[in-house]
Structure 1
Amino acid sequence: MPHRTAWQALGQNPLKVLGSGWPWRSLAYLLSGAAFGAVTVVVLVVALVAGVVSLVVLVGVPVLLGVALSGVAVTRFERWRLRLVDRDPVPDPHRPAERPGLVGWVRTRLREPATWRELGFTAVSVTALWWMDVLVLGFALAVPALVIMSPLDDPGAWPLTIVGVCLLAAAPYTITAWAGARAAVTRLMLTPRDGELGEELTEVRASRARLVDAFDAERRRIERDLHDGAQQRLVSLNVMLGLAALDAEPGSPLAGQLAKIQEQIRLAVEELRELSRGVHPQALTDHGLAASVENLAARSALPVTVDIRLPRRLPLPVETTAYYVVAEALTNVVKHSRASRAEVHARLHTDLLALTVRDDGIGGATPDTGTGLTGLADRVAVADGRLRVSSPRGGPTLLHVELPCH
């Protein structure tokens, strides 16, 4: 699948990193970070000094105000630059100005917590991050180059050429690793907090989470009622009919009718069991995600390969979300994809569950074609996860979900 970040590409498939564009994108990210950081340091230092010196005549007030608001411009460029190594954009936390004009814009920005957080990020960037970019680039590229050229001054130092070549071969991994780590820190610091999204949007997110939790609790209650109520009554009724059949004359019409009734009850019990598994599978509660997905695969009309390796049980909300993503995805495969097989793959990367469902069908899955992708995206969003779908015409279709497991 197309990885969303350089960190994912390096962590999930390091052998293929060299043949991808991630090292070059990472190199461009670090080079632009070093250059932009150097320019930012010079501009801010000059502006800060000029503002302090001219403060006695009040001319420095606008200059210092510009320094305070510099984080807005710096982070805007950082969000744009971040797309080199992280394909998902970071939302802009700033709201529209309350009044038109420059004064209204400045007043709005000065009252926003995001403005001061961005100023803090700018301070961290100019004092540490861009220096780290320069150091990593020097260690990954400049040092190997100097070592390789050592025999030019001392022919007896030719073995250093081999050392330099080995160091240079490791450069793509070093550059990609630091670019991924730097991008993760940048995203963490620039992602809007709930308090910055506005009270209405925060309440919408909270209410949507409450609705999903209530819906899951109701599904579990219905599953218990079906299992402990209707199924048990039907099983008891089937036993009673079996006892009555013992008193009927073998081969008589009554015995035949009782046998037919028993068969219908047996089918009804099987249907209820299948329904209860769809409402909330007991295997998910008792044995976890891997076992419940294995059960799904065993009941699927298509061959499904399951490769789920988790070091521990995940939080129940995460397992529930992942299970229904797989269930809906496999249902879509059977109904719409014309596939001959499907694969389910899941791994836990520190505190992030990466789940992938792939099929070899005809592709073309979109939210507008009634495949349930919108509902899946909503459920994943409630869990603060991310869902990505790749389904070109002609296939294959790949659904990738990331769920945090804090």
Structure 2
Amino acid sequence: MPVRNALEALTMRPTRFLLSSWPWRSLAYLTGGALIGITTIFAVLFLLAAGVVLSVLVIGVAGYLATVLSGVAVGRLERWRMRLVDRDELPNPHRHPGAPGLRAWLMCRLREQATWRELGYTMISALMLCWMDAAVVYAAAVVPTMLLFGPVYLYGETSLWIMIPVAACTPVALAVAAYPVTAWAGARAAMARALLAPRSDDSDAKLVELSRSRARLVDAFEVERRRIERDLHDGAQQRLVALSMQLGLARLELADGSPAATQVTAAQQLAKETLAELRELIRGVHPKVLTDRGLAAAVGDVAGHAPVPVDLDLRLTGRLPDAVEVTAYFVVVEALANVAKHSEATRAAVSAGVRGGRLHLDVRDDGRGGADPERGTGLTGLADRVAAVDGTVALSSPPGGPTLLHVEIPCAS
């Protein structure tokens, strides 16, 4: 199993650990932390001083804003530096501004808790962590150096038998120093991850934006479905009706039993079959009855065409939001199709009602049960369709039946 971070590297065999890149990566990480922390101190002091001096001219506010937003730059740099000692990338907690321009970016960043956490991390790093980094690096570098060059400074003041063992201790000191350097680097990165990782509030903001985007997509798809249904209904379907009528009129002009009459009759029958298939296609794209008369009428139409007798109990007194009606309609269509194809049922039932601002929809059958979404019965796609409008799906289908599909969809305006 590959080592993912510096703390895990400490559990490696000593020979493997000392020959790996982890001690040097850790040393580079701590050296960078010390330099960045000290630089941050001077940069923040300069920005604060500039803000105080220029506050008389109002533009000093820019200095204060730059001080606050300095954490964003340090946080981004720290997430990049952490890859030295932690192979798991730390995700960016910031969201994209809702509008272009500097003002929108500033307002977005100042309202995010991630910005203030990064500022807090920057202050902690500058006031405390960078000095600890510098102390660890200093100790790891100075002690082996003193041992290595000690004989030079002690030449003539002590015997050769003492200087040689002291110099020989340098590799041992380097090997020993590798452990505290790596341990502190790993702990330092763990603290940075704890402070800079996205929190639930950041995730919630992104989740809200994702939900809004999904709702916009659902609406856009529904508009497109209605456009396709309208084009098919008003275009291709009307032309097929006209074609069937023209063929019927042509048939009247021909003698019965003639070859031409036979061909025209066959063509008229083919046009009627095509028209029937087109009507089924239109019903699958977006049924006109759903748009004109609502969910109850559309479900009644589906039940009337189902190959299995269907009992209806629809307690819907008014129209529901378009997305809810469309989703519920196709849930019924898919569920009744599954009943006809897989359940061997003799009867089905559909009930629906609105309670507590949610549409409750049940589809039952007396079939053999054992419905399994993993077997490609369309239940997975049905659940995805319901989830797109923040709904939930529950299925009860024990072997031997009966099967109950329960769907709940928020329907508040």
Cα RMSD of the aligned pairs, angstroms, is 2.8
Question: 1:260 is matched with which residue: 258, 266, 284?
Answer: 266
Alignment-derived partner of residue 318 in structure 1: 324
CA shift for structure 1 position 401: 0.8
Alignment-derived partner of residue 388 in structure 1: 394
Alignment-derived partner of residue 248 in structure 1: 254
Q: Is the 8 A contact 1:212 1:379 kept in 2?
A: no
1:301 aligns with 2:275: no
Alignment-derived partner of residue 287 in structure 2: 281
Counterparts of 2:202 and 2:404, CA distance in 1: 34
Counterparts of 1:404 and 1:376, CA distance in 2: 16
**What one-letter code is carried by the residue in structure 1 that aligns with 2:390?**
D
1:221 is paired with a residue of what secondary structure?
Answer: helix
Summarize the alignment of residues 153-302 of structure 1 with structure 2, pairs less than 5 Å apart: 196-198=202-204, 201-302=207-308
CA shift for structure 1 position 248: 1.6
Counterparts of 2:357 and 2:210, CA distance in 1: 26
CA shift for structure 1 position 280: 0.6
2:307 is paired with a residue of what secondary structure?
Answer: coil
Alignment-derived partner of residue 327 in structure 1: 333
1:197 is paired with a residue of what secondary structure?
Answer: helix
Q: Is the 8 A contact 2:303 2:309 kept in 1?
A: yes
1:24-47 alpha-carbon deviations (Å, 9 max, x no partner): xxxxxxxxxxxxxxxxxxxxxxxx
Counterparts of 1:367 and 1:245, CA distance in 2: 51
CA shift for structure 1 position 323: 0.6
Give me the TM-score of the superposition, normalised by structure 2: 0.51
Counterparts of 2:235 and 2:248, CA distance in 1: 20
Distance 1:105 1:260, change over 3 A: closer
Counterparts of 2:306 and 2:337, CA distance in 1: 8
1:117-139 alpha-carbon deviations (Å, 9 max, x no partner): xxxxxxxxxxxxxxxxxxxxxxx
Distance 1:104 1:294, change over 3 A: same
1:364 is paired with a residue of what secondary structure?
Answer: coil
Distance 1:371 1:203, change over 3 A: farther
Distance 1:105 1:237, change over 3 A: closer
**What one-letter code is carried by the residue in structure 1 that aligns with 2:409?**
L
2:408 is paired with a residue of what secondary structure?
Answer: strand
Alignment-derived partner of residue 376 in structure 1: 382
**What one-letter code is carried by the residue in structure 1 that aligns with 2:274?**
A
**What one-letter code is carried by the residue in structure 2 that aligns with 1:340?**
T
5+ residue gaps, structure 1: 1-94, 115-194
Counterparts of 1:305 and 1:325, CA distance in 2: 16
Question: 1:339 is matched with which residue: 338, 341, 345?
Answer: 345
Alignment-derived partner of residue 121 in structure 1: none
2:239 is paired with a residue of what secondary structure?
Answer: helix
Summarize the alignment of residues 106-121 of structure 1 with structure 2, pairs less than 5 Å apart: none
Distance 1:367 1:196, change over 3 A: farther
CA shift for structure 1 position 253: 1.6
CA shift for structure 1 position 250: 2.8
Distance 1:350 1:284, change over 3 A: same
Question: 1:362 is matched with which residue: 365, 368, 373?
Answer: 368
1:352 aligns with 2:358: yes
Counterparts of 1:108 and 1:215, CA distance in 2: 38
Counterparts of 1:104 and 1:386, CA distance in 2: 38
Q: Is the 8 A contact 1:311 1:348 kept in 2?
A: no
CA shift for structure 1 position 308: 0.4
**What one-letter code is carried by the residue in structure 2 that aligns with 1:262?**
Q
**What one-letter code is carried by the residue in structure 2 that aligns with 1:225?**
D
Alignment-derived partner of residue 20 in structure 1: none
CA shift for structure 1 position 322: 0.7
CA shift for structure 1 position 197: 3.0
Counterparts of 2:299 and 2:268, CA distance in 1: 32
Counterparts of 1:282 and 1:359, CA distance in 2: 27
Counterparts of 1:253 and 1:106, CA distance in 2: 86
Summarize the alignment of residues 124-163 of structure 1 with structure 2, pairs less than 5 Å apart: none
Counterparts of 1:274 and 1:204, CA distance in 2: 34
Distance 1:374 1:248, change over 3 A: same
Alignment identity in percent? Answer: 56
Q: Is the 8 A contact 2:218 2:323 kept in 1?
A: no
CA shift for structure 1 position 242: 2.0
CA shift for structure 1 position 201: 4.3
CA shift for structure 1 position 259: 1.3
Counterparts of 2:300 and 2:311, CA distance in 1: 9
Counterparts of 2:249 and 2:329, CA distance in 1: 41
Give me the TM-score of the superposition, normalised by structure 1: 0.52
Q: Is the 8 A contact 1:290 1:308 kept in 2?
A: yes
1:70-111 alpha-carbon deviations (Å, 9 max, x no partner): xxxxxxxxxxxxxxxxxxxxxxxxx9x9997997798689x9
Counterparts of 2:194 and 2:256, CA distance in 1: 94
Counterparts of 2:193 and 2:239, CA distance in 1: 69
Q: Is the 8 A contact 1:357 1:399 kept in 2?
A: yes
CA shift for structure 1 position 396: 1.3
**What one-letter code is carried by the residue in structure 2 that aligns with 1:285?**
T
Q: How many pairs are equivalent?
A: 229
Counterparts of 1:107 and 1:214, CA distance in 2: 39
Alignment-derived partner of residue 151 in structure 2: none
1:340 is paired with a residue of what secondary structure?
Answer: coil
Q: Is the 8 A contact 1:385 1:402 kept in 2?
A: yes
Counterparts of 2:191 and 2:281, CA distance in 1: 62
